[in-house]
A = this chain, B = another copy of it.
Amino acid sequence: MPIPASLNHLIDALRILPGVGPKSAARMAFHLVQRDQRGALQLAHALENALGTLKHCRQCNTFTELDICEICLDEQRNHAQLCVVEMPTDLMSIEQTRSYEGLYFVLMGRLSPLDGIGPNDIALKQLLERASNGIVTEVVLATNFTTEGEATAHYVAEMLRARGLQVSRIARGLPVGGELEHVDPGTLAQALIERRRV
């Protein structure tokens, strides 16, 4: 059957989902229009709603629907400690360990010269301002242990040490090349405890 153009576009659009190849994209598209049109419409609206309402916390840069996120507003947490991660999912991984009580800063990326991502392309300037507020005394670098994450940690460490801040790096309890998102909470908790000053 000549597949209607709008269905073909839908199959193409579904390919952006992680782990979805051409065959499963087609299966998903047909499922959506054949068997669950209401669910499909809800998905479209949920996507638009999420993209429309999610913004970045003015303090830590993570996704939130507020101006300042709930973690940054939490008086119970240690506001002198700042943990730097690449992405909001990394922040969530650390929160799941329940072993960290400080605040966060989310870079929304990492340095990656090969992809043309330099210091001005991630939130380094914002991090510098954030860490220089006079309250933060220690910055814990929790970028991934990939080449890019390590380069980012190195760059951030230099930048913040020049401001007189104490900078530490979570321990390499993670496997080399590992990403926070895919590690078990126990290992990640250990890595937090064993962080070393850099």
Chain A residues near B (Cβ < 8 Å): 1-7, 9-10, 12-14, 16-19, 24, 27-34, 36-37, 39-54, 62-65, 69-71, 87-89, 91-92, 95, 108
Q: How far is the CA of A12 from the CA of B39 in the complex (A)?
A: 10
The 8 closest A-B pairs by CB, nearest first: A16-B39, A13-B46, A44-B47, A13-B43, A6-B50, A10-B46, A10-B50, A44-B44
Q: How far is the CA of A94 from the CA of B93 in the complex (A)?
A: 47
Contact B54 A44 (CB under 8 A): no
Across the two chains, which residue of chain B brings its CB closest to A104? B1
User: Given A1-B92, A49-B6, A95-B1: A42 and B30 within 8 A (CB)?
Assistant: no
A-B contact pairs, 8 of them (CB 8 A): A1-B70, A1-B92, A6-B49, A9-B46, A14-B43, A17-B43, A32-B50, A41-B48
Across the two chains, which residue of chain B brings its CB closest to A18? B31
Q: Give the residue of B7, B48, B49 whose beta carbon is less than 8 angstroms from that of A63.
A: B7
A87 partner residues in chain B, CB cutoff 8 A: 30, 34
Contact A46 B12 (CB under 8 A): yes
A12 partner residues in chain B, CB cutoff 8 A: 46
Contact A13 B34 (CB under 8 A): no
Contact A4 B65 (CB under 8 A): yes
A64 partner residues in chain B, CB cutoff 8 A: 4
Contact B19 A43 (CB under 8 A): no
Chain B nearest Cβ from A24, distance in angstroms: 7
Q: Give the residue of B45, B47, B62 whose beta carbon is less than 8 angstroms from that of A41.
A: B47
Contact A46 B6 (CB under 8 A): yes
Chain B nearest Cβ from A68, distance in angstroms: 13
